[in-house]
Amino acid sequence: METSDLLERCYPGRRAELKREIFRQALKLFNEQGLEATTIEMIRAQCETSVGAIYHHFGNKEGLVAALFFTALDDQAQLRDSYLAAATTAQEGVHALVHSYVDWVDSQPEWARFQYHARFAVTKGPFKDELVTRNKARNKRLLGWLSEPAHKAAMSGVPDELLLSMMIGQAESYCRAWLSGRVKGSPKAYRDILAEAAWRSLAASAT
């Protein structure tokens, strides 16, 4: 899937065409130039639109960064929830979470790269409260799955606050290395190894 596919999935229709183009060019510039160095004027020039049009949609640069970040999280969560819906056991659920994470990064590397770079800016910036609210809504299915008695019992040795780190931590570390060019093998090639490693660490803690 390419960037355009994600944007058309999240913001369909002709009326959202300008918004998609602003997103597309902003994402490219933020990844190439960095968040601090990229200006609204640079984005405007690439979109061949007006500064006013960008401000109308996003308010300011911080708003644009946050909107991109939220879009990435929403798309990632949609894939995660679709994988999780097919899981019937704790082990299948852990595999689903790791597989969805790896598959999304593999198919959306530019969005994933931006997501890693922008996380600190959004979590510490003016949209941090909105992020908290959105995360609660976005993660409703995931939290419900984690709270099911059978799943909690299968991972009973792990404190709740550690669960997601133990599930996704190794996959996230490898994905970051791949996106930065430190390793060459696609994360998707190792999705089953990463998923099984996550499950073994959780299942071992429960024994």
Q: According to the model, what pLDDT value does residue 38 have?
A: 97
Letter string b/e over residues 123-151, b meaning 16 or more CB atoms within 10 A of that residue's CB: eebebeeebeebeeebbeebeebbeeeeb
pLDDT of 207 > 80? The answer is no
H-type alpha helices, 34-159 = 40-47, 51-58, 61-85, 90-107, 109-124, 128-138, 140-146, 149-154
Q: Distance (Å, rounded) from C-alpha 30 to C-alpha 39? A: 9
For 81-139, the pLDDT digits (tens) are 999 999 999 999 999 999 999 999 999 999 999 999 999 999 999 999 999 999 999 99
Q: Which domains does the chain have, with CATH numbers?
A: 3-205 (1.10.357.10)
Span 146-154, average pLDDT:
91
Q: According to the model, what pLDDT value does residue 157 have?
A: 80
Q: Distance (Å, rounded) from C-alpha 113 to C-alpha 73? A: 12
Residue 11 backbone zone (phi > 0: left; psi -120 to 50: alpha; other: beta):
beta
Q: According to the model, what pLDDT value does residue 102 have?
A: 98
pLDDT of 2 > 90? The answer is no
Q: According to the model, what pLDDT value does residue 177 have?
A: 98
For 156-190, the pLDDT digits (tens) are 888 889 999 999 999 999 999 999 999 999 999 99
**Contacts by 12-20, CB closer than 8 A, 24 or more apart:** 18/47, 18/49, 18/53, 18/57, 19/57
pLDDT above 70 covers a percentage of the chain that reads 96
Locus of tokens 């300008």:
18
